[in-house]
Structure 1
């Protein structure tokens, strides 16, 4: 490089500095002043990342005084350039020395950068085009939000998420039974609402003991970073805002926090798009005296457009309370309890008709009359004839119309284990052990000194004798109970005989779990992970990953009760309950860690217990009275509430009255189960599990998961950006930032790196791996790094082709058509940022539609920037007319794109509006707000499509050279 004082140069790495001036050349160093930003830069002459700026004939340039001129001739003297030409405003002949050029000149347009010699590496240019293509594909993928979460592809969950997640301000009650995934369904819906722009601010209200579980689930499964608000956080937030709820977009808090008048008023004053309420069956209501919690949720539900209520037991507080929750969702629709009961009675007729269509048999005359009566607005003659001819499409269409128009299916979704396939059996294995002398002595001493306390304390002493023993040991460092406890002896022998099996052990307390780990490690050298409430999220993820690891991982995971807080370990099927909880709901949650859809083996439940003790009595009550181990106990909470006092007396004493208690419990359980079965809303279940439509969703997402082109794209993108990649096997890649990245940082990539996987099964078993899909934030971040910068927007390549004369020129231009609109318009469904590629020959003919990018690119070879700059300078007289011709051609392509987008919009949104209008005439669950939202979306989409624009994103010169 040759530098002289006064020359104008531009930085290749910091083009936003504007035009620089050489102010000093000393030895091997050159100093460049960038007046636009008042920055000085010192460079090595040999390695300076600078490009000499010399304009060409025909260019329009600006003086630092503000006037512009068209260059006609160029004169060089003493290594400085003077431009001669005419002013653009008045045509006056003028001369302009390069030292007097406008300092604000920036080469942001691709063509300007190309002519200024700022030529990017060939791989950068290719990556930029591929990023534009990937972004376009991502926005057109209607199932991207469903594919993204770290969750199994469960048909009924995906169906509900897809059905509800695409609504405007959805207001529904999710009431699936325990283990069927209400939290995942809510997360799916939330994820879609956020990704589509339908929602930005979200409030999740949960019981206090579930806050952490929701925080973990939203982050681990959906990459959503919620803030957990308690009183302390609210006080801290006052430094940023008078209303603490205005300081974050995504908030989780307990309902108890909002019982306080001040916090409730602040939450009510904040603006929310969506509210989720978990454990909604706790919202007690009566017409005369609703609970405070119900009043809080009711007031918020009146203000928040979207509301999701979650409960596994919608009738827990009685059918009237179930009506009250529906009333929260739509008070105009569910205004009177008696009217609701009357309407419900009519659902059975609809369910019978739906069952006839589901059974895929000929429809009887009686059933045909019933269908005709239920769908009076339709002429069913042709449909019934098609069904008689075994036309499955006609059957499905009629069933869909029936479900659309009747029942509470649009506001209430409930799946039951009886109606959902995919569960394996559960088997109880009893393991009686003898009472250690040490425990017997501890009990005697406790009774002698009156240490048993009240009845509840006596129950705890009887169920958990190790706790009582430790009270007598005192604080002597390590506990010794596990050295003689016969349950520990059994556990050690069991683990030694099942060395190749993963085993989940759950105990009630964290101290018990920690001491069990010490026992396994000390006595038999068995490596176990421990999972308890005192650990951070990161520590829990690492422990869960250690357990999930097939080779070299832990054989055993020992959890405190928090082990049933939402983590799923269905890759294991042996569950050891070292002790038993007193609440049947907790028992079901423990079993539910393994007994889930996706479990491939019968779940083996092992219960070691001391014979003839309270432990055996509780086991017998759960097993013989409630059948709670081998079958899901629907009404466990009701039975527990009814018999808890009698149970406590049995457990606190010698077991007297146990048989009578078991008989009474079993009789009530049978009555309850019979009532549940009789009350099963088959119409609701049909509408909730999605049927063949749900299975089709699964297949579509499975196909998307297998897209190897996406994997190749991401690996190449990370390589171009400069992210270090280390293949660790097990479908995992470790990513680490480096000092040589193109950008200072990569959003979402931690400073110490992270492990990622593209495989869903691996992600489900390894919580410490990031699950990379097109919906993952790191994908959008990587694409944005490239497309929002100037990386790869210019290029020069050589084409070695004997069939073409040497020196033949081609100009490749990548345009992007885009219409900018608010996120809630979802314009990406119809016109996402769309790359348009033109490949012009020197006559101005576009060859791009006949020669695809990839096959053409494989024939090209890179060229160094210095030679490329010379080729561009020599070709300018040809390139300027080609760019002008391309502008005309690409404008025609834009008009075609916009027309097609408007047609798709009218077809999709217009069709949805017609469907909702037809439904509203027969189904009062259709809200006016939904219709208005579709109309508004159509109007806004049309307005923004009409303002669609196109801009040149990248440009590449290709020159034919001999072989």
Structure 2
């Protein structure tokens, strides 16, 4: 029964200290953990809380006093502690109190199996190591270790807070980069409320991507959901009902009320995809831009995503940059002038990077730029010297205007992509009836509309079907991915193929549930599984099918970016084969015209066009109209079609040259020279090469009755048949297949990648460590000298601090193990013998029989152990404080130096880091020590002496 003013402890997060009940409403309770600056809402019937009750003989502290409790009184359901002539009401207790009862369990003879103690100790150390790592929150993410993505995520996640524009070329993983930043911010405690704003066509893709890749469960908001929440009757803002929210612009534009509620709700991090659709000019702004501008002004962290090349829309980039930093980017003309200055510097950077000589004008430019800096002027005396070139290049990058706010990676600069090989299947349509031709034209018109209108489809006599069957027969060992516009097409194709081929076929479309889509994709991924996967357009969104290298284009989208998404399912970094793109088209059909435009005008089948969206804007309407007219009468339209293709090709070549010549190489180099650039990749490599982690996780889950069965190929089936608690997440739908291999998880998107930060594993570990499970043990070790008895005490160092400080990167909750003998001497680095640990499970010891001698021996031994542990803890706290000082001082020094030469670094950013440094250096020395577990170890003859 919860009463305001009571003190409770979170068993899931004991490091938060004592919490105070603030409010009890209906089936919910709010608890404030003041020291950590955290307010937690809980459901009363499932709250992971235990009452902080102290008994006679225990020490309590508060209001500057501390004493041993002599008696406890209850008044109005609140506790009053009295002792040594003093009293403390429970509301007056300090937030840090020692509440462990492991010693009581040992003295009382209520011990656990030795294996449980070992598992607990192993879990405590592993959790501390994992929490200290920069991969925390990302370890279980289903992501490949792609260097440029890790660099962007590592750099941005280290910002306080991150306010960045992700502008990588299409196909380089901006969504993954944004997801990594979000996941890291949430795991580190720097953000708790995240809003993702999207065009409605991307809502589902983002929802699945965040859930499947990052184990983040976002709530999709629409009018129906808001109305349902309001009908609950408490008149609160519906957007405050969830911490992680996805909403689409169309829903908000249709309801000013919802838009205002969205603005009124507090957010820590805002993510906006397709940011190039936020229209702005110095004279006016679109409603979407205005909404994002208002949100960005009151939200600490902002992530914007766009694939538009800077050279095709500098005013557009300025509009997005001013959302991130309106003080820095306040004048478009000033920004454009600065941008022009960076182009010659980019050419200089290229020469320095390649070791080429600088011409006289370039040297003069650098002398002017570095005036007053004697070290750099000395480098200019011999810029060809490698060390001097590096210093000059670093100086140029440091002075780059948008290098901290904007990240831009290019496919050509990253490399590692396969070659694309278009394979044409232009089919003779002479045998087609007029009805067949009209059906093709109707299909084309339906394909270029949004949403796709219903259409009667019958492919039994379609020439493309014959070509598809022939392809399957011609390459019997290969897998084929076929992507078409809609779900009805998938069903019609499956029906037509049913009696035409013996190849295994799997389906993937929006009409299937998430689990069924995953199963079908897994069937396609298996070596002996389906050879052909029929996908609607949803299959082009975020999925990784790079184990295949043949893509069949049954139809074509009008949007070049959407075509790139389709090809991107196979054309990925790490693809081991060249990509065969099979283009099926009936000669002189509208689809054929569109295919020719992509091939002869845009060159989209061989390369990834950076200007695809701009070409569509210029020529899309004309193309669609001409394709339809050409299908009706090709002879009269050939000349116009040739002209369109030539005009498109010329525009494409002009824009490609514009992008190449105006490319800001400094912007691309900026990320690789950052202090945080490679730290995340190194940490991932270390985490993935831990051979003992997998066995630990299996032992942990077995403790809850989950049996692991090997299915082969590094896949395990977790069977919850004997699950001992409903509190463990992840088994609502029965047995679950999982993997510990990152490579397998990338190939099989239905398989969770188990790491310590996966919700299933972290939930199990929290359950195991938050209770008494394994915190008291008694064992015999035949390797000990005669008449020996040792007490192993496991203490935890806990730093209770504001979660947004992310103090655990320096000082996670970590175990300190101290072993003392009956003469109070320390046995450093003691560990029971392997033989004793193996025999422990077979030895039956009636520990309650020895309560008297335990009651006599344990207290003084424990007191001595605590004294030793306190000294060790002080040393660990000092090391953590020194590490935090060194790291944050280096960052501050770096920021201040950059501030002197780069206007993108603001005083606000420096002040935020300085404040964080001060708060951390105040919190770390206040870390406390508490007893977590104890184990009594005796020699074989010791028990007979008692």
- Say whether the fold is shared (TM-score over 0.5): yes
- The answer to whether structure 1 residue 144 and structure 2 residue 136 are counterparts is yes
Using the TM superposition, name which of 418-427 and 195-204 deviates more. Answer: 418-427
Of 650, 656, 664, the residue aligned with 1:667 is 650
Task: Report the CA distance shift for 1:824/1:695 in structure 2 as closer, same or farther (over 3 A).
Answer: closer
* Counterpart-to-counterpart distance in 2, 1:88 and 1:866: 38
Report the CA distance between 1:852 and its aligned residue: 4.8
Whole-angstrom distance in 2 between the partners of 1:544 and 1:930 = 45
Q: Distance in 1 between matches of 2:502 and 2:172?
A: 37
Q: For residue 651 of structure 1, what is the aligned residue in structure 2?
A: 627
1:428 is matched with 422
Contact 2:443–2:455 (CA under 8 A) maintained in structure 1: no
* CA drift at 1:302: 1.0
- 1:284 aligns to what? 279
**What residue in structure 2 maps to residue 614 of structure 1?**
590
Q: For residue 608 of structure 1, give the secondary structure of its aligned residue in structure 2.
A: strand
- The reply on whether 1:181 has 2:181 as its aligned counterpart is no
Q: How does 1:112-131 map to 2 (within 5 A)?
A: 112-131=104-123
In structure 2, C-alpha distance between the alignment counterparts of 1:134 and 1:339, rounded to whole Å: 52
Of 438, 445, 453, 1:460 maps to 445
Aligned mates of 2:313, 2:448 — CA distance in 1: 33
> Which residue of structure 1 aligns with residue 777 of structure 2?
795
Instruction: Say whether residues 1:560 and 2:503 are aligned partners.
Output: no
Give the direction of change, closer, same or farther, for the CA distance of 1:861–1:767 in structure 2 (3 Å limit): same
Per the alignment, residue 769 of structure 1 pairs with: 751
Report the equivalent of 2:922: 943
State the SS of the aligned residue for 2:164.
strand
Match of 2:906 in 1: 927
Tell me, in whole angstroms, the C-alpha distance in 1 between the residues paired with 2:204 and 2:567.
20
> What is the deviation of 1:693?
7.7
The reply to whether residue 687 of structure 1 matches residue 670 of structure 2 is yes
Q: 2:702 aligns with which of 712, 716, 719?
A: 719
Contact 1:368 1:384 in 2 (8 A): no
Within 5 A, what are the aligned runs for 1:81-480?
109-238=101-230, 239=232, 241-259=235-253, 260-315=255-310, 318-359=313-354, 373-375=368-370, 378-380=373-375, 384=379, 399-435=393-429, 437=431, 439-443=433-437, 460=445
Cα distance between partner residues in 2 of 1:909 and 1:782:
34
How far did residue 532 of structure 1 move?
Answer: 1.5
State the shift of 1:261 in Å: 1.4
Distance 1:538 1:468 in 2: 27
Q: 1:630 and 2:597 equivalent?
A: no
Q: Quick one: which of 789, 814, 821 aligns to 1:841?
A: 821
Structure 2 counterpart SS, 1:523: coil
1:433–1:745 Cα change, 3 Å? same
Task: Give runs of aligned pairs for residues 474-623 of structure 1, distance below 5 A.
Answer: 481-551=458-528, 553-623=529-599
Shift of 1:371: 5.3
The answer to whether the 8 Å contact 1:415/1:688 transfers is no
Distance 1:853 1:334, change over 3 A: farther
Distance 1:169 1:407 in 2: 19
Q: Deviations over 1:864-890 (max 9, x none)?
A: 565233345334433322112122222
1:436 touches 1:484 (CA, 8 Å); kept in 2?
no
Q: Which residue of 2 aligns with 1:905?
A: 884
Q: Which of 744, 766, 784 is residue 766 of structure 2 equivalent to?
A: 784
Answer whether contact 1:155 1:694 (CA < 8 A) is retained: no
How far apart are residue 627 of structure 1 and its match? 1.1
How far is the alpha carbon of 1:562 from its aligned partner?
2.0
Please name the residue that 1:32 is paired with: none
Task: After superposition, give the CA deviation of every residue in 1:144-164 in whole Å (9 maximum; x if it has no partner).
Answer: 344331011111111000000
Q: What residue in structure 2 maps to residue 760 of structure 1?
A: 742
> What is the deviation of 1:368?
7.1
> Among 837, 846, 868, which residue is 1:889 paired with?
868
| C-alpha distance after superposition, 1:311-347 (max 9, x if no partner) | 1115598322221111111111011111111111221
Kindly indicate whether the alpha-carbon contact (under 8 Å) linking 2:170 and 2:307 is maintained by their aligned counterparts in 1: yes
Higher mean Cα deviation, 120-129 or 232-241? 232-241
- Write the distance in 2 (CA, Å) between the matches of 1:712 and 1:506: 40
For 1:187 and 1:398, the matched residues in 2 are separated by: 34
Q: How many residues align?
A: 845
Contact 1:219 1:225 in 2 (8 A): yes
- Paired with 2:755 and 2:909, the residues of 1 have a C-alpha distance of 31
1:651 Cα deviation after fit? 1.7
TM-score normalised by length of structure 1: 0.82
More moved, 585-594 vs 947-956:
585-594
Q: Which residue of 1 aligns with 2:49?
A: none
Q: Give the unaligned 5+ runs of structure 2.
A: 1-56, 58-67, 75-81, 86-97
What's the C-alpha RMSD, in Å, of the aligned pairs? 3.2
Q: Which structure ranks higher in relative contact order (CA pairs < 8 Å, sequence separation ≥ 6)? A: 2
Listed one character per residue, the Cα deviations across residues 21-56 of structure 1 (whole Å, up to 9, x for unaligned) are xxxxxxxxxxxxxxxxxxxxxxxxxxxxxxxxxx9x
* 2: CA distance, partners of 1:356 / 1:926: 27
CA distance in 1, matches of 2:420, 2:894: 44
Q: 1:458 Cα deviation (Å)?
A: 9.3
Partners in 2 of 1:182 and 1:614 — Cα distance?
33
CA spacing shift, 1:298–1:107, aligned 2, 3 Å = closer
The DSSP-based 3-state class of the residue aligned with 1:663 is helix
Deviation track 1:610-635 (CA, whole Å, cap 9, x = no partner) reads 12332322222221122111111222
**What is the match of residue 79 of structure 2?**
none
Matched-pair contact (CA < 8 Å) for 1:246–1:270: yes
Gaps of 5+ in 1: 1-54, 67-86, 91-105, 447-451, 472-478
Task: Compare 372-381 and 816-825 and name the one that shifted more.
Answer: 372-381
Normalised to the residue count of structure 2, the TM-score between the two structures is: 0.84
Q: Distance in 1 between matches of 2:683 and 2:360?
A: 38
Q: What is the CA-CA distance between 1:396 and the residue it aligns to?
A: 5.3
- For the residue of structure 2 that corresponds to 1:205, the secondary structure is strand
Q: How much has 1:526 moved relative to structure 2?
A: 2.4
Change beyond 3 A, Cα 1:640–1:746: same
2:88 match: none
CA contact under 8 A between 2:799 and 2:813: conserved in structure 1? Answer: yes
Deviation at 1:381, TM superposition (A): 6.3
Contact 1:298 1:328 in 2 (8 A): yes
Q: How much has 1:518 moved relative to structure 2?
A: 2.2
Shift of 1:370: 5.6
Partner in structure 2 of residue 46 of structure 1: none
Max Rg structure: 1
Distance 1:701 1:89, change over 3 A: closer
Give 3-state SS (helix, strand or coil) of 1:432's partner: strand
Superimposed CA distance per residue, residues 776-807 of structure 1 (whole angstroms, 9 cap, x where no aligned partner): 12222121111100011111111112xx5433
The 3-state SS of whatever aligns with 2:778 is strand
**Superimposed CA distance per residue, residues 724-778 of structure 1 (whole angstroms, 9 cap, x where no aligned partner):** 111111211111224353x443123435031111111110111111111232122
Note closer, same or farther for the CA distance 1:941–1:494 as it changes in structure 2 (3 Å cut).
same
How much has 1:242 moved relative to structure 2? 2.8
For the structure 1 residues 637 and 805, does the alpha-carbon distance in structure 2 shift closer, same or farther, using more than 3 Å as the test?
Answer: closer
What SS does the aligned partner of 2:533 have?
strand
